[in-house]
Every structure is written in structure tokens, then in C-alpha cells.
């Protein structure tokens, strides 16, 4: 059998090129054993752009608690509700405006005020708040569901009683309404028959459905 030297040489060179190409392809999909594990993987940004949640400013009717600590001095605490002017009352400072400030901004402002007034040198101020106090009215007595209920503008005495599951079997016909320390007694039967005015409730009202034996 005769061998063509040129043909064998060409075949050998083609095979070498093919094997070299395969090795290059394998290097793409398989990391080199000399690489540090994970070094060939795509890197994440070192400082990703993380969007933080927005902290809303304090506003009217927010319930806040302020604690002031200064070394060995006993901590000062104050709990208040932000009024319509954005103020709360703080010990030794009186009315202090926090409305429109975030909790952290209010903490800095309170700390600076205590320092400026010479009350403390380096106080630590913590303010917990930002929770809006929802207005409520309260119902007790011979009612199916007692407790506080969210106030809705325009709600009447009879509507409030119905919203609380209505009166129970022990109820009489009288309802006591306490507002700002003043007590009124209303006849529920007359209100139902539209023979008496169904009074409007206000936030903070206390309603007591009297039992029949009272």
C-alpha cells in the first residue's frame, strides 16, 4: 500500500487544529483549575443602587414618645400627640414644633434645643412615633360587641349601636351618652320611632346601653 506523504501531513495538521479549537471551547465553559473558585463568575456591582423607603414627616394627631438620656441623670420621658400647629410639649422646653420633620430630624432638633438651653451637654434623644391616632367612640353595657370603634363623620347614636352588633336581650330602652364629662340619657325606643332626635356622635364619646333593670 502506498502512502501519500502530503495527504498524511495535511490530515495531521487538520486534526491538530481541530483539537486545539476544542480545547479553546472547553476553556470557555470550564474554569481553569488554576483559577480561584468563583473568580471566573460575573461580578455583581460593589455598590448597588438600593432605593430606601421614604420616611414620612410627623403630622397632626401622630402619637409620639420622646426619651432623653444624659449620663447618670435619670432619663426624661414625654408622651404627647402632635397638635394642629405641629407641636408637642417637652419637659423644660414647653411647646416644641416637630410637625413636618421626620423622626430622626426631630431627634436632632430636640437634642440641639436641650444643648442650646444649657440643660444638657451631650444628650441622647430617642423619638418613637409617626403613628396616627385614629379617632374613636366607645360603646359598653347591654351591647353585643363592646369596645372602641373608628369614628366616621356624621355617625349617629343609633347607627353606632347597630355597628356594634345591636343591643342584646338584657338591654332596656335607655342609652347613656357621656361627652366631655357631661352625661345625657336618650330613649332608644323613641329614637327608633323617629319621635326623638338621633344625636350625632363625636370622637371620644362614651355610649352605655343601660340594662332593663337599671
pLDDT in tens, 45-71: 343 333 333 467 898 888 899 999 988
Query: Where, residue-wise, is CATH 3.10.560.10 in the chain?
Result: 136-211
Cβ of 19: how many Cβ atoms within 10 Å? 10
Kindly state the cell numbers that stand for 179: 361627652
pLDDT in tens, 157-208: 999 999 999 999 999 989 999 998 899 999 999 999 999 999 999 999 999 9
The contacts of residue 92 (CB under 8 Å, 6+ apart) are: 76, 114, 117, 119
Give the per-residue pLDDT at 137: 92
pLDDT in tens, 90-147: 999 999 999 999 999 999 999 999 999 998 888 999 998 866 667 889 999 999 999 9
Handedness of CA 105, 111, 115, 118 (dihedral sign): positive
Cβ of 145: how many Cβ atoms within 10 Å? 11
Write out the CATH class of domain 136-211.
alpha beta
- pLDDT tier at 44, thresholds 50, 70, 90: very low
Query: Where, residue-wise, is CATH 3.30.1950.10 in the chain?
Result: 62-132
CATH number of this structure's domain 62-132: 3.30.1950.10
Assessment of whether the complete model's pTM goes beyond 0.75: no
Amino acid at each position: 500500500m502506498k502512502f501519500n506523504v502530503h495527504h498524511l501531513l495535511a490530515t495531521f495538521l487538520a486534526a491538530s487544529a481541530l483539537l486545539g479549537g476544542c480545547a479553546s471551547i472547553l476553556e470557555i465553559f470550564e474554569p481553569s483549575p488554576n483559577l480561584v473558585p468563583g473568580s471566573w463568575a460575573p461580578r455583581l456591582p460593589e455598590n448597588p443602587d438600593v432605593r430606601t423607603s421614604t420616611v414620612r414627616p410627623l403630622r397632626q394627631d401622630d402619637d409620639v414618645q420622646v426619651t432623653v438620656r444624659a449620663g447618670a441623670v435619670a432619663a426624661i420621658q414625654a408622651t404627647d400627640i402632635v397638635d394642629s400647629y405641629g407641636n408637642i410639649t417637652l419637659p423644660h422646653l414647653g411647646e416644641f414644633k416637630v410637625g413636618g420633620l421626620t423622626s430622626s430630624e426631630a431627634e436632632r432638633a430636640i437634642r440641639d434645643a436641650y444643648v442650646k438651653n444649657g440643660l444638657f451637654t451631650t444628650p441622647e434623644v430617642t423619638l418613637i412615633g409617626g403613628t396616627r391616632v385614629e379617632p374613636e367612640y366607645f360603646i359598653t353595657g347591654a351591647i353585643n360587641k363592646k369596645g372602641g370603634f373608628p369614628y366616621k363623620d356624621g355617625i349617629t347614636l343609633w347607627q353606632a349601636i347597630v355597628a356594634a352588633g345591636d343591643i342584646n336581650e338584657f338591654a332596656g330602652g335607655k342609652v347613656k351618652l357621656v361627652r366631655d364629662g357631661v352625661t345625657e340619657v336618650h330613649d332608644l325606643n323613641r329614637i327608633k320611632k323617629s319621635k326623638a332626635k338621633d344625636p350625632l356622635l363625636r370622637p371620644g364619646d362614651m355610649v352605655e346601653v343601660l340594662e332593663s333593670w337599671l
